[in-house]
Amino acid sequence: MILKPASLIPFVLFLIFFIACEKSVDGEPETVINSLEIIMNDMTLPHEGYPSGLPESMDWAHGPRISYGNNPPDDWTAVIPWGQIYADSAGNPATNARFQIRNMQTWYLSKSDGEWKRWILTSDIDGANYAEDFQDDINIPADIRPESDGGGISASLQPGYNFHFWSSSGRVEIDPNDIAGVWSSMESRLIIADNELPDDRDKARLMFSAGADYWESLDAEWDQWKTNGDIAIGRFRFLTKDWQAFNMHTLTLEQLRDNPPPFE
C-alpha cells in the first residue's frame, strides 16, 4: 500500500515524538527518566520512608535539605558527587535484589555567565558499606561488580550498613566564587542478584538519595567534617525494577524554571 502525503503526517508526528522521548544507553533505547518536575520534587517532597539506623537528630533523615549550598568556604577548592542507599527502617524483605547505579553527574550554574557547566559525568563508581549513622566513618568493603547490561556497577547492603558511593575518579577542582547553583543526578534500578533464585524485587524496600560534597582540596584527608561537608542531600525514594533518576540541587523553584539544568 502506498500512503498519500497527507496520510503520512500522523505517522511522521508519532515517529518524532517517539524519538524525542527516548535516549540510548550502551546502544539500547530507553525512556527518558528525568524531568524538571522530578528534580524539583527531589528537594521539596518528604522522603518515601525513614532510612534504617539514622538517629532522629540527623536532619536529613527527615527530608531533603541544603547545607553549604552555593557557598563553600572561600579556601575549599574541590567537589565530588555521591549517593547513598538505605534499607527502610520498617525492614527490607527482599533477599535476591541488588541495586545498579550509573550516570553520576554534577553541574554548577556559573555566576559569571549564567550557564550550566559540568564538573563531572561518569559511570565509574566506587563505594563501601558504611555504618548507617556514619559514626567514626566505620565501613566495610562492598560486593561491587560492573554491569554490562545498562552499564555502571551494582552492589548490595549488609545488615547495619548502608551503601555510600562516589565517583571513582575522585574529586574535581572548582572555583568556589563562581557558584550560583549546583545540581547532582544519578540513575539506579533493582536487578536480580541470583538468576537461579526467585525474583523478589517487588518486596524490596531500598531507598536512594543523591548528594555531593565540597572538599578543602583535591587530596585533603577526612578529618571529622573539618575538611569536607555536603552541598545538599536529596530526597530518599524507593528503588524499583525500572531506571529512575535521583537528584539534588540548590536552587529555588523559580530559578529552576528560569534556568533548568541540562537533564535531557
Query: Is residue 163 predicted with pLDDT exceeding 80?
Result: yes
Tens digit of each residue's pLDDT (9 = 90 or more) over 84-134: 999 999 999 999 999 999 999 999 999 999 999 999 999 999 999 999 999
Query: Is residue 4 predicted with pLDDT exceeding 50?
Result: no
Q: What is the mean pLDDT of residues 166-180?
A: 98
DSSP 70-138: T---TT--EEEEEEEEEEBTT----SSEEEEEEEEEEEEEETTT--EEEEEEES-EEEEEEBTT-GGG-
Q: Where are the beta strands (DSSP E) in the chain?
A: 22-25, 28-31, 65-66, 78-87, 97-110, 116-122, 125-130, 139-140, 145-146, 153-155, 163-167, 172-173, 179-192, 206-215, 228-233, 237-238, 244-249
Confidence of residue 31 (pLDDT cuts 50, 70, 90): low
Predicted model pTM: 0.88
Q: How far apart are CA 86 and CA 106, in angstroms?
A: 22
Q: How far apart are CA 87 and CA 68, in angstroms?
A: 27
> Average pLDDT over the chain, rounded to whole?
91
Contact 210, 106 (CB under 8 A): no
Query: Is residue 72 predicted with pLDDT exceeding 80?
Result: yes
Burial (Cβ within 10 Å: 0-12, 13-18, ≥19) of residue 163: buried
Query: Is residue 2 predicted with pLDDT exceeding 70?
Result: no
What pLDDT is recorded for position 42? 99
Query: Is residue 217 predicted with pLDDT exceeding 80?
Result: yes
Burial (Cβ within 10 Å: 0-12, 13-18, ≥19) of residue 147: middle
Confidence of residue 264 (pLDDT cuts 50, 70, 90): confident
Q: How far apart are CA 241 and CA 200, in angstroms?
A: 10
Annotated domain spans of the chain: 34-258
Q: Which residue has the cell 520534587?
A: 41
